[in-house]
Structure 1
Amino acid sequence: MGFRSGDIVSRRSYQCDVIFKITEIRKRSSGDHLAILYGESVRLVADAFLSDLVNVDEGELRHRIDEEKEKLERSLYLLKQDQLLIKEKQEYVATNFYRYDENVFHIPGKVLHLDGDPAYLDKCLHLYEKIGVPVHGEYCKETEMPKRISELMEKYQPDILVITGHDAYSKHKGGIDDLNAYRHSKDFVKTVKLARKWIQHRDQLIIFAGACQSHFESLIRAGANFASSPSRVNIHALDPVYIVAKISFTPFVERINVWDILKNTLTREKGLGGIETKGVLRMGMPFKLNNE
Structure 2
Amino acid sequence: MAAANPYSPLLDEIPVERHEVAVLGGTTAYWVYGPADADVTIVAVHGFRGEHHGLEPVVAHLAGIRVVSPDLPGFGETGPVPGRTHDLDLYAQWLTDFAAAVAPGAVILGHSFGSIVVAAAVAGGLETPRVILVNPIGAPALEGPRGVLTRLAVFYYWAGARLPHRVGEALLRNGLIVRAMSVSMAKTRDPGIRRFVHDQHDTYFSRFADRDVLHDAFLASVSHDVREFAPRIGQPTLLVAAQRDDITPIEAERRLATMFPDAELIEIPDVGHLIHYETPAPAAAAITRFLAPSGADTR
Please indicate the TM-score interval, normalised by the length of the shorter structure: 0.3 to 0.5
Question: What's the TM-score, normalizing by structure 1?
Answer: 0.36
Question: What's the TM-score, normalizing by structure 2?
Answer: 0.35
Larger radius of gyration: 1
Higher RCO (C-alpha 8 Å, min separation 6): 2
Say which structure is richer in strand.
1
